[in-house]
Structure 1
Amino acid sequence: MTRSEQLPESPAPAAELPTSVERLLQNITAEYDSLPRQLKRVATYITQQSDRVMVDRISDIARDCEVQPSAIVRFSQRFGFSGFSEMQAIFREAYTHKTTPVQNYQQRIRRLIADKAQKVPPETLARECIDATRSGLDRLSHELNDETFRQAVQLLVKADNIYVVGVRRSFAAAHYLVYSLQHTNKRIHLVSGLGGSYREQMRSVKPDDLVVAISFSPYGKESEHCVRIAHHKQAKTLVITDSPLSPLAKRANAVLLVNEGSAFAFRSLSATLCLCQALFIALAYELELKMDEIHENLDFED
């Protein structure tokens, strides 16, 4: 094992050939910690950009991962494939009947960039952003795990206090979730880190509380720090992120995955906001049901 880690060019032990994209992603998650550094980059790309694998060339993936194409081949062989083409085939088979806006968008963007002589009108830029946003929502609808979502809602229902953290791009989603949750009778706290006070704002977290962390690649160190504090204090954690390989996901009690559409290197937040809204509505519904049950069990005539 140690020798193969030092010499990644050597063939890896034969692995069982995954029969589906879902199975491959499970295998990648299970073996991620043992992968060499370059293969970890490929693993992160594959899990976060699964919709693109079927259309990207090996050189495209290598460039985005900042590795040589041979590393992509070694990665494929590590998980039981003869090479990249065989691994790519299972992605193509999985999405044969699902031509998503993401794929069409990628092709259109490449044509726009290649045609430097053509000036892109503002309305075209607007529609590209709209299409990218729609693609993220479509993917969220397709990939949302029902069981995990139910688990996330129950974590919210049972929590005494709910702390929400998100930094930089994720702060808007964290603030929106706090605003929504404040319409319930739960005690809600925004961990803003004002003045660098993340540790101080997390000091009162208790085992019966829930910390919700929203973070996407390249992942906020502040959010990761808050999740570590929650874990140390034995509080529950709900993580909203873009990959099961996210450093925040390892300590989470539930992980909700969101992969936003991207236009001109600017990622949307619409799917994340939609998921936050869905969590609030599901929580409010559960809380009202509990209130109805309480009222039904009380005899106000006595």
Structure 2
Amino acid sequence: MKLKEVITSAYDNLSKSQQKVAKYLLEHPREIAVLSATEIGEQSGVSETTVIRFCYAVGLSGFTELQKSVREQLLLEKSSLQTYVTAKESLADAPHLHARVMKNDSERIQQAIDLINEEDFELMLEKIKEAEKIFIIGSRTSFAAASWLAFTLGLARDHVKLIRSDTDDLLHLLQSMSETSLLISISFHRYVKETIKFTEVAKKQAGYVIGITDSPLSPLQKHADLLFPLIPTGRSTIDSTPVLFSFLNAAVAGTTLKNREGFENRNKEYDLLYRDYFEPY
């Protein structure tokens, strides 16, 4: 039986305070998945002890098992692919499919524009400019974005490193980080544990961590000094890709404008190397 059904069936036998926890859990599964028992208690208006007793009352071994069940059964109830396909079904027989899909993308980008705090964006540009070294990580659906960002930022400044967890020595990379380093971590639902764990450890090594994600309740929020949640809750990760690349493009544009001389010098060097080694005979 799913956790939601277990809670619903046990609801009438719970104390009034435990019912507050149950109601909060059913209404805010993402928050239960990432907050502590103390924070859940504060949000639902009860004590931490009540949250723990609620777990026992519904047959769980404790708060850890509650979070695990929520993540598995509620937070991850639908895959991004399922959400993506469902959202496109209404367009299946409509004319001008490309125009409709691209219009939806532009609407999501506009929503993201409204979500982004301009002061936070300017702070990100300043951190990118000041950092001695920049490390960028993103896995699975986020890897293409991380790779693109590393390449394009590398045209504007020195010492930009894309982290490849499949081939890089992660311990060596962590050792090479310092208080003058910047980590940019990209992770979208479903959140890759490897990325979250690396970000957590790197937070103790790097001077500053920027998280780029979908939701303010993303696991990255615990480890990022500055968080950019770009997508309203419930959106497909695949559908978020145009928004993500548009945001990264804005970040690169801002970095280039703030370091125009450095970009022009690196661009000249890049063109020379390209002509010497990559142009066809």
TM-score, normalising length: structure 2? 0.61
Query: Which amino acid in the other structure matches residue 186 of structure 1?
Result: D
Q: Is 1:213 matched up with 2:213?
A: no
Q: Report what 1:18 is aligned to.
A: none
Q: In structure 1, how many angstroms separate the alpha carbons of the residues matched to 2:220 and 2:236?
A: 27
Conserved? CA contact 1:136–1:261, under 8 Å: no
Contact 1:215 1:240 in 2 (8 A): yes
Instruction: Please report the TM-score for the alignment, with normalisation by the length of structure 1.
Output: 0.57
Does structure 1 residue 32 correspond to structure 2 residue 35?
A: yes
In structure 2, list runs of 5 or more residues that go unmatched.
1-9, 21-27, 41-50, 52-62, 78-83, 264-281
* Amino acid in the other structure paired with 1:32: L
Flag the 1:229–1:290 CA change in 2: closer, same or farther, 3 A.
Answer: same
- Residue equivalent to 1:280: 252
Look up the match of 2:269: none
**Could you tell me how far 1:147 is from its partner in structure 2?**
1.7
- 2:122 is equivalent to residue 144 of structure 1: no
Is 1:227–2:227 an aligned residue pair? no
Secondary structure in 2 matching 1:130: helix
Mark the CA change 1:260 to 1:195 in structure 2 (over 3 Å): closer, same or farther: farther
Tell me which protein shows more helix as a share of its residues: 2
Mark the CA change 1:10 to 1:189 in structure 2 (over 3 Å): closer, same or farther: same
CA distance in 1, matches of 2:145, 2:220: 17
Residue aligning to 1:247: 219
- Amino-acid identity (%): 20
Cα shift at 1:182? 0.9
How many residue pairs end up in the alignment? 212
Shift in Å, 1:209: 0.3
Q: Which AA in structure 2 matches 1:185?
A: R
Q: CA RMSD in A?
A: 4.2
Report the AA paired with residue 255 of structure 1: L
**Rounded Cα–Cα distance in structure 2 between residues aligned with 1:229 and 1:65:** 25
- Per the TM alignment, residue 278 of structure 1 is displaced from its structure 2 partner at its CA by 1.0
Deviation by residue 1:184-216 (Cα, 9 ceiling, x = unmatched): 233100001233633333331111100000001
1:201: which partner in 2?
A: 173
1:40 Cα shift? Answer: 7.0
Say whether the 8 Å CA contact 2:185–2:209 is kept in structure 1.
yes
SS of the aligned residue for 1:139 comes to helix
| 1:167 matches 2:155 | no
**Alpha-carbon distance in 2 for matches of 1:222, 1:65:** 17
For 1:33, give the aligned amino acid: S
**C-alpha distance in 1, partners of 2:121/2:221?**
15
What SS is found at the alignment partner of 1:211? strand
Partners in 2 of 1:135 and 1:260 — Cα distance? 12
Is the contact between residue 212 and residue 239 of structure 1 (CA under 8 Å) also seen in structure 2?
Answer: yes
Please say if residues 129 and 263 of structure 1, whose CA atoms lie closer than 8 Å, have aligned partners that are also in contact.
no
Does structure 1 conserve the Cα–Cα contact (< 8 Å) formed by 2:157 and 2:262?
no
3-state SS in 1 of match to 2:36: helix
Question: Contact (CA 8 Å) 1:239, 1:248: kept in 2 or not?
Answer: yes
Paired residue secondary structure (1:207): coil
What one-letter code is carried by the residue in structure 2 that aligns with 1:112? Answer: S
Give secondary structure in 1 for the equivalent of 2:257. helix
Counterpart CA distance in 2 for 1:205 and 1:224 is: 17
Deviation at 1:39, TM superposition (A): 9.2
The question of whether the paired residues in 1 share the 8 Å contact of 2:174 and 2:205 is answered with no
Look up the equivalent residue of 2:184 and give its one-letter code: V
3-state SS of paired residue (1:183): helix
Structure-2 separation of matches of 1:65 and 1:149: 29
Structure 1 residue 267 and structure 2 residue 245: aligned? no
- SS of equivalent residue, structure 2 residue 129: helix
Post-superposition Cα deviations, 1:206-237, rounded to whole Å, max 9, x if no partner, equal: 11100000001121122112212321214311
Cα deviations by residue, 1:59-82 (Å, 9 ceiling, x for unpaired): xxx98876xxxxxxxxxxxxxxxx
SS in 2 for 1:213: strand
Alignment-derived partner of residue 154 in structure 1: 126
Aligned pair in 2 of structure 1 residues 132, 261: CA closer, same or farther (>3 Å)?
A: farther
CA distance in 2, matches of 1:40, 1:133: 33
